[in-house]
Amino acid sequence: MRMSQLVGKRTKETPKDAQTQSHIFLIRGGYARPVSTGIYSLLPLAKRITQKIEKIIREEMNRIEGQEVLMPVVLPRELWEESGRYQSVGPELLRFKDRNGKEMLLGMTHEEAVVHLARSEVNSYKQMPFMLYQIQTKYRDEARPRAGLIRVREFTMKDAYSFHTSDECLKKYYDRAHAAYVRIFERLGMKNVVSIESDTGMMGGAVSHEFMAVSDCGEDTIFVCSGCDYKANREVAKTKIAFASDTANPLEKVHTPNQKTIEEVAKFLGIKTSETGKAVFYTDEDGKLYFVVIRGDIEVNETKLRNHLKLRELKFANDEQIRSIGAVPGYASPLQLNSAKVRIIVDPSVTQSSNLVVGANEADYHYKGFNFARDLQPGSKMIDVVDIAAARNDDPCPVCSQPLKEERGIEVGNIFQLGTKYSLSMNCTYLDQNGKSHPMIMGCYGIGVGRSMAAVIEQSNDKYGPIWPLEIAPYHVHICALNLNEGAVKETAENLYQALLGKGVEVLYDDRNEKAGSAFNDADLIGVPYRVILSPKNLAENLAELKARDGSINEKVPLTQLQDRLMNLLNSKGKQA
């Protein structure tokens, strides 16, 4: 490709709205352009990269017996009614009517569509297991797109669905899919991707993993154990905190005038916040109240709480709602609380700690010496004891007790064991050896293509631009010809360009006669792995300059050896992958 013809302007200035490296470089380097909120056009450079990403994904999906299909983006309402998601999903599902008034939607994921296929095409255990996948446009009407291609409304996704006759078979395949994902992200050149336990969210199902590209700009908080393999999303992360268990002291009422927050009370009484228990009130969509008790220094993990209560939405209750169940805001207490009026959820950090300071349910008073087992007479009240604690940096790992480290991650892929959630509701069955009908057992597996491209930039860049791994780089060799007015430079550059093209090398040739600085800055923004610089100075000695974008190579090569040297580099890298 001649750079003079390459569509996609590079800019010197950073777009004012871009905050993350990938967003900045995707715009500055002429890879992508916004069309509307969270909706982008990909320019030639980005398209070349995503094509390579898709190729790698295809190869690995085919390797685990995946069969590629293509399902429609536009789907009819009825199909989604069958699974119940037409109602349950909410406004990020874009719904509309066609000219006949028929209600349609834009697919945001394709469980319904693939089940529609599977249930009519496969009826026998003899054809199972099988996996179908596609690489296709998804639309999600996101509340808040952000960070360039990291979170968008329209995007390309690889989604795969497997169908099995037993849980064992699903699990075995799930592990193969997991291994395929590890290979994919390795081949994409992502430096730090971890697979973590995750919340199954609206997908349903029991087991799921998210593949997180570790990066400061990631939207998810994850915990990675420093001592073992435990890794989890904050939404589900567990900890093994040692709680201070001691002989129970008697309950003692103490005067705590105007000390409402945990910090105030602890400071006032000269104790640590971990020696207190705090009350947090939540309310659901119907206005029903939930009283949550947790140790004072630990935050409530609302995802855990929501999952336990099987609720979609939880909000903090206001003071009025708190009073309505007979509690005093700021001094609320699990003691003397009418469990008929409110559901009580207690974290183990409270049930297993001794002698906590808790509210007295009376303005300006707290109790010292609260002990759950003694003071709440468990069994006499409806109380759920369940882990709802939010993990913190350096909390002990639930497996090995070594400190957990908090990181940020970009979710580039996820895999779910769906089980029969969709096959049951949508009647997707097969006949077994005895002619008996069973629902198919499903797994599903997704990878965001554009997001993966952005994640690679986040993990691989310098202040000048992206540093593309060879496997997905838009081009492999970038020829910078300095001073094309000199006949020798022009001739050498053109010859080299044609020769490399002839050898099947993907080569970008800067034929624009730009100043060196300008050419180099553009080259940095395009991030091609190998750069050949041709200049009058070096050509006089029959030398060319060869540089690797990542700085690993910077040498002068005799012109006669240049092509061999390049081919060696390209081939050896190719073999490694």
| Binding interface with RNA (CB under 7 A) | 9-13, 15-17, 19, 23, 28, 34, 36-38, 90, 92, 108-109, 138, 140, 142-147, 151, 155, 157, 159, 200-204, 219, 302, 312-314, 414, 416, 446, 448, 464, 482-483, 485, 513-518, 520-522, 524-525, 533, 535, 537-538, 545
Instruction: For the CB of residue 18, give the shortest distance to RNA in the complex, in Å.
Output: 7
Distance separating alpha carbons of residues 290 and 254, to the nearest angstrom: 26
Nearest distance from residue 317's CB to RNA, in Å? 14
11-22 exposure pattern, b = at least 16 Cβ within 10 A, e = fewer: eeeeeeebebbb
CB 77 within 8 A of CB 497: no
Comparison of 90 and 558: residue with beta carbon closer to RNA: 90
Closer residue to RNA (CB): 138 or 231 = 138
Which is nearer to RNA, 116 or 306 (by Cβ)? 306
CB of 563 to RNA, least distance (A): 18
Tokens of 475: 């081009």
CB of 32 to RNA, least distance (A): 12
Shortest reach from residue 199's CB to RNA, in Å:
7
Residue 73's nearest CA partner among 50, 52, 40, 96 is: 96
Residue 201 Cβ, how far from RNA at the closest point, in Å?
3
**Cα 307 to Cα 202: distance, rounded to the nearest angstrom:** 11
Identify which of 166, 334, 130 has the alpha carbon closest to the alpha carbon of residue 251.
334
- Which residue, 33 or 343, is less far from RNA as judged by CB? 33
Least gap, CB of 261 to RNA (angstroms): 19
Rounded to whole angstroms, how far apart are CA atoms 298 and 253? 24
**157 vs 500, which CB is nearer to RNA?**
157
Q: Which amino acid type is present at position 218?
A: G
Angle at which helices 487-502 and 559-576 cross, to 10°: 30
Nearer to RNA, 6 or 357 (CB): 6
Report whether 445 contacts 111 (CB < 8 A). Answer: no
The answer to whether the CB of 434 falls within 8 A of the CB of 411 is no
Which helix (H) or strand (E) covers residue 526, if one does?
helix 516-526
3-state secondary structure of 92: coil
DSSP 389: B
Peptide bond before 334: cis, by omega within 30 degrees of 0? Answer: no
Q: How far apart are CA 435 and CA 205, in angstroms?
A: 27
Smaller CB separation from RNA, 334 or 450: 450
Residue 267 CB, shortest distance to RNA, in Å, is 26
φ/ψ (deg, to 5) at 425:
-70, -25
End-to-end alpha-carbon separation of the chain, Å? 25
| Minimum CB distance to RNA, residue 70 (Å) | 17
Pick the closer one to RNA by CB: 200 or 423. 200
Amino acid at 32: A
Measured from the CB atom, the residue of 312 and 323 that comes closer to RNA is 312
Q: Match 């049930």 to its residue by tokens.
A: 351
